[in-house]
Amino acid sequence: MAATMASATRSTVLTLYRQMLKESRKFTGYNYREYALRRTKDAFKENKTLTDEVEIKAFIKKAEKNLEIIKRQVALSQLYTDPKLVIEEQK
C-alpha cells in the first residue's frame, strides 16, 4: 500500500513539475519566463528530499496554487506583449 501511495505521489509531483515548466515557457516576456522556469526548478530541487507525507502534500498543494497563478499571469502576458529583447532575437 505504501509503495502504491509513493508512486502515485511521485507521478503527481512529476506531472505538476512538467505542467509548471510548460506553462512557464508560454510567458511572452523573457525575464518573466526565465524567472518562472528558474523558480520552478529551484523549488522542486529544494523539496526533492522530502519524506514526510504531510510535508509532501503541503508542497503539492502549494505547487498547484502556483500553477494556477502562472496560468493567469501567462494569459495576462499574452494580452500585453513587449518587443523582444536582444537576447531573444532569432537569427
Per cent of the chain over pLDDT 70 is 91
Number of domains in the chain: 1
pLDDT at 3 over 50: yes
pLDDT at 91 over 60: no
Task: Flag whether 90 is in a domain.
Answer: no
* Domain extent at residue 70: 2-80
pTM (two decimals): 0.83
Helix (H) or strand (E) run with residue 34 in it = helix 30-46
Task: Flag whether 44 is in a domain.
Answer: yes
Where b means 16+ CB within 10 Å and e means fewer, 2-16 reads eeeeeeeeeeebeeb
Predicted confidence band at 5 (pLDDT cuts at 50, 70, 90)? low
Task: Flag whether 91 is in a domain.
Answer: no
- pLDDT for residue 1: 41
Q: Give pLDDT tens digits for 25-56.
A: 999 999 999 999 999 999 999 999 988 889 99
